[in-house]
Amino acid sequence: MDRRSFVSMGAIATGMAALVKASQSKAQSQDAGPTSADAGQPDASAAPPRANEITPGQPRVHTLNGEALPWRIVDGVKVGHLVAEEIDHEFAPGLRARVWGYNGRTPGPTLEAIEGDRLRIYVTNRLPEPTAVHWHGLILPNGMDGVAGLTQRPIQPGETFMYEFVLRDPGTFMYHPHYDEMTQIALGMHGMFIVHPRRPRGPRVDRDFVLMTHEWKIDAGARRPNPNAMADFNVLTFNSKAFPATEPIVCARGERVRIRIGNLSPMDHHPIHLHGLNFKITATDGGYIPEQAQHPATTALVQTGSTKVIEFVPQEPGDWAMHCHMTHHVMMQMGHNAPPMVGANTRRLDRRMSRVVPDYMTMGTTGMGGMGEMPMPMPENSLPMRGGPGPFSYIDMGGMFTILKVRDRVVGGERDRWFQHPPGTVATVADPARMRADGIDPDRRR
Ligand SMILES: [Cu+2]
């Protein structure tokens, strides 16, 4: 390890209380939920859908930390407008960056429509370079496929293109640029595209969530992500938010819940793991999986360039973790490049360093667990290594992490409340007398 690494670790070690405090106070109040837009008209041939249903029995999707694109109905056509533009985005309190997105957000608004609908989507390019929009997974006329150079000419800055097509197949799709993909997708241009079946398919669900995974390289203090990164992504997000800014998923036990997970990360697949239940993968961006072919799982591998739809009926109430199982994907900016310090004896170094840097302490010699909550100064515009406040202590996962809140009943306000554990159901420190009674030696060393 070189001297600069020590000094930078030392600088980290002297006091980031302000940032931790800010993220704690704002953690649960970020983004007061999606503003679900009126996404069009129901199937006229069926019984009318109820409030918040898009077809009878099918709830509108809930884009966590996001929203749906509003449609205007013109002569039976659903007309929408996407504006590709640079925006100022907050990943979590303490970290903002200039990114690229659609309609002021990343991911862009969720497109939600019904099988058989005719869509007319205007795309205005307010970027400094050309773009094009590809409708990932949809089968449509070749000239509407949005591949610059191959199926259309690029949309120049300032131009507006019109895409028009009929939604042949229901499913969970995505949209993203197909021009300078490396830059534009890395900078946040992507969105989910949900096509509901006109007639119900499979068991009806009570809740239907939309979640786009992504990875970014944002050097501490930088104003923009680095779109040229190929490795060392250091900000991992659900719907472009890092925990604790990720909106929790709230549902009641016994409800059937669907989560549609997409991945347009530049380089990585994300094994998304859920605690407290098992689920079945019911569909991909290629269509529905026949029920006989669905198998139970607790982790869904969402490859880059794909969607996975999972469905489950939670039975056990609680606050359950939902996260990418790649351990670096629940870390934040500071963790990945830290020198390996576990087991190092740094007393002499600490003594010498403290002569020049008061309160100096080398970090990480007993592991990295406590580093996210350390009161340390951070470079401006950066996030701690990971994590956020929890009901028992600091939660030392951040990034691609959120909480599934399963309740007996959903009455409102659950997203801001921690689970109340029934007495006697929380793991805690063992009583030595009880250990002895159970034949366990409390003084055992090895
Ligand atoms: Cu991941």
Distance from the CA of 216 to the center of ligand 1, in angstroms? 11
Topology classification of domain 31-42+50-324: Immunoglobulin-like (2.60.40)
Distance from the CA of 209 to the center of ligand 1, in angstroms? 19
Of 130-144, 222-236, 278-292, the least confident: 222-236
Spell out the residues 6+ positions from residue 128 whose beta carbon is closer than 8 angstroms to its own: 86, 157
**Interval 250-265 mean pLDDT:** 97
Distance from the CA of 314 to the center of ligand 1, in angstroms? 24
**Interval 142-169 mean pLDDT:** 98
Q: CA separation (Å) from 293 to 59, 94, 201, 282, 283?
A: 25, 45, 15, 9, 11
pLDDT of residue 16: 34
Distance from the CA of 327 to the center of ligand 1, in angstroms? 8
Distance from the CA of 297 to the center of ligand 1, in angstroms? 17
Distance from the CA of 294 to the center of ligand 1, in angstroms? 23
**Interval 23-49 mean pLDDT:** 42
Does residue 3 register a pLDDT over 80? no
Distance from the CA of 173 to the center of ligand 1, in angstroms? 20
> From CA 142, how far away is CA 128, in angstroms rounded?
27
pLDDT of residue 357: 67
Q: Which of 24-28, 107-111, 338-342 has the highest mean pLDDT?
A: 107-111
For residue 72, the cross-strand partners are 79
Q: What is the pLDDT of residues 40-85, one digit of tens each?
A: 444 444 577 887 999 999 999 999 999 999 999 999 999 999 999 9
Distance from the CA of 437 to the center of ligand 1, in angstroms? 44
Q: CA separation (Å) from 191 to 67, 188, 260?
A: 11, 9, 12
pLDDT of residue 368: 61
> From CA 192, how far away is CA 106, in angstroms rounded?
11
Does residue 439 register a pLDDT over 60? yes
Nearest by Cα to 119 from 153, 143, 101, 144:
144
Distance from the CA of 23 to the center of ligand 1, in angstroms? 22
Distance from the CA of 276 to the center of ligand 1, in angstroms? 20
Q: Which of 3-7, 25-29, 102-106, 376-380 has the highest mean pLDDT?
A: 102-106
Does residue 322 register a pLDDT over 70? yes
pLDDT of residue 11: 37
Distance from the CA of 142 to the center of ligand 1, in angstroms? 33
**Interval 216-244 mean pLDDT:** 92
Distance from the CA of 269 to the center of ligand 1, in angstroms? 6
Distance from the CA of 158 to the center of ligand 1, in angstroms? 35
Does residue 379 register a pLDDT over 60? yes
Distance from the CA of 237 to the center of ligand 1, in angstroms? 9
365: pLDDT confidence band, cut at 50, 70 and 90? low
Distance from the CA of 160 to the center of ligand 1, in angstroms? 35
Does residue 184 register a pLDDT over 50? yes
Distance from the CA of 79 to the center of ligand 1, in angstroms? 35
Distance from the CA of 221 to the center of ligand 1, in angstroms? 23
**Interval 293-306 mean pLDDT:** 97
Does residue 360 register a pLDDT over 70? no
> From CA 22, how far away is CA 73, in angstroms rounded?
43
pLDDT of residue 167: 98
Does residue 367 register a pLDDT over 50? yes
What is the value of pTM for the model shown?
0.82
Distance from the CA of 161 to the center of ligand 1, in angstroms? 34
**pLDDT above 90 coverage of the chain, percent:** 67
Distance from the CA of 46 to the center of ligand 1, in angstroms? 41
Distance from the CA of 268 to the center of ligand 1, in angstroms? 7
Distance from the CA of 102 to the center of ligand 1, in angstroms? 23
Higher pLDDT, 7 or 50: 50
Burial class (CB in 10 A: 0-12, 13-18, 19+), 442: exposed
pLDDT of residue 18: 33
Distance from the CA of 111 to the center of ligand 1, in angstroms? 24
The residue type found at 136 is: H
Q: Which of 8-17, 111-120, 436-445 has the highest mean pLDDT?
A: 111-120
pLDDT of residue 121: 98
pLDDT of residue 381: 74
Distance from the CA of 114 to the center of ligand 1, in angstroms? 31
List, as ranges, residues with CB under 5 A of the ion ligand 1: 270, 324, 326, 329
36: pLDDT confidence band, cut at 50, 70 and 90? very low
Distance from the CA of 303 to the center of ligand 1, in angstroms? 10
132: pLDDT confidence band, cut at 50, 70 and 90? very high
Distance from the CA of 129 to the center of ligand 1, in angstroms? 29
Distance from the CA of 128 to the center of ligand 1, in angstroms? 30
Distance from the CA of 235 to the center of ligand 1, in angstroms? 10
Does residue 24 register a pLDDT over 70? no
The residue type found at 232 is: D
Per-residue buried b or exposed e for 48-82, using 16+ beta carbons within 10 Å of the residue's own CB? ebeeeebbebbbbbbbbbbbbbbbeeeeeebbbbb
Distance from the CA of 261 to the center of ligand 1, in angstroms? 12
